[in-house]
Structure 1
Amino acid sequence: MLDVNCIYVNYNSATFTIAAISSLLEKTSDTVVYEIIVVDNGSAYEDYELLKTSLEQFNSSAIKIYRSRINTGFGAGNMLGVNFASPSKYYAFINNDTLFTQENTLLDLKLFMDATPDAGVCGPQMMSENGDRISSIDHHATPMRQLLKRDFLEFINSNKYPKRKKEYAKPVACGFIPGSFMFVKTSSFDKVGGFDSALFLYYEESDLCLRILKKLKEKTYHYPAQQYIHYQGKSTEKNVFVKLEQKLSFLYLTQKHHGRFARAFMHCFFTIKYALSSPFNSKKRQMFMALWKGGAIDQSLRCKQIIQEK
């Protein structure tokens, strides 16, 4: 059995994926037994060809690449990678727009998880490309967090809601860690069914960590001793459709964990919020119209994907 199975999802960003995997190979020693699974998630064929050819040049038997002809989203893309992965003790779900910066990050995370029985997930400290520290912990995506905001929750109960902007010297339990680098116990991941593929984009990590906590009583830890660079937003184009996807995902997650009444309340809240600002902003007007129609799943980006010819 492998120690770690590293899973990357590429979508029209081969140059980032190549750099990410190169950094992993450079910074990881033979003291940890690992495999790298790369899923091309319906990229343009030229991008896939560049990726495939470049990975072959690494001449590493540890790297395997698979192609989906349609963009299945973050969660389903990673689940496709899991489907092809060899048995391992841990999964490392790593965004393709990241870089390893320290030696033996995978080994260090493995040793921490081995020594922490109540840990189901952990993740290192995220850094910007300029070397700035980026918040690497968050609180579960709930209606309370949406309405009261993170800072207030941290103010009234910092034990339950650890401060996101604080610099930690030791591991700290939190709601969830960024999906850009999630180190997950395989047995725990499998027991809860992995990522929810109904979420096309956003909140997959919050949902996974919450289900592992609820079902298995295992916590998520921020592990600050290890760091990595994340080129935030480079793999996902920001536009009104992506912003809408965030709201659709939140509404789905709210109903899943808190029920239909909570979902209906949050839908009304978002609809009124964008109605008030829509006369002055065309993008917010688009958001309002989509929510006015019910925020239905058929408005998801999942339903707008085109199957690649090859």
Structure 2
Amino acid sequence: MFKRLGIALAIGFLRLLAVLPYGLVARFGAALGALLYRIPSRRRTIVHTNLRLCFPEWPAAERERVAALHFQHAIRSYVERSVQWFGSAKKLERLIEVDSEIDLKDPDMPPTILLGFHFVGIEAGSIFINHCIGRACGALYQPLSNPKINQIAIEARGRFNAEMVSRADSARVVLRMLRERKPVMLGSDMDYGMRNSAFVPFFGVNACTLTTVSRLAKAGPAQVIPFIGEVLPNYRGYRLKVFKPWEGYPTDDEVADARRMNAFLEEQVRKMPEQYYWVHKRFKTRPEGEAGFY
């Protein structure tokens, strides 16, 4: 009973925040992140471990600076689910600027995989890109552990006519959507274990990386268009950056394709390292016989 009550209060709080000015909500999230960073925690240790692995050339003071900023961004991203899940379309239109190298409303768009990356603005970017396209899209998601919150997340993320697909059911459904010329959004830069994955470098460290994008693009066949959700400075909102389709992708070498994906991601991370989700265990799965990092 107490757990259900806690969840109900948390959702109610997010709905309340959604009607407040975005700048106020964002500042509250940043302040909460700064406070929580001062408290020793497992997540803070994970952030420091990831930054040490990926940026060994940085002075310790620089890693500390980026870690502190990232914690503010990470906690903000959870608080700002309020606006992203429950804010009106008009509010999101005011908050999200679009920088696209393609015509998102192109009625003749070929079968397309919209490839998102786990920056702190991914939620805003993923929800809004479907709104920009203006027609039904598929969207893969990782189910949340709590059924009630999971259902609310599905409804919020799919409210602009997105067909939400659990990652566990994804391959068959995604191929059907691509044959129907329905764009499909997915992310592939988390560590989901060795199934359908290969070890390829990410900032010089072997990272267990999904090869699913390459296989789906080949089977589709589909073009792959990367996109990123960026948090703008001074609490101005977000930028949805949509890139051109990758040329010469996929190839016959899915490991090389995964390497190319990680190289692209590295390039984007270097532009705003404080905004990548370092709170996740990116290097959790290790090659056989290699000690874990966390």
User: TM range, normalised to the smaller chain?
Assistant: under 0.3
TM-score (norm. length: structure 1): 0.25
Which structure has more relative contact order (CA 8 Å, sep 6+)? It is: 2
- Give the structure with the higher percent helix: 2
TM-score (norm. length: structure 2): 0.26
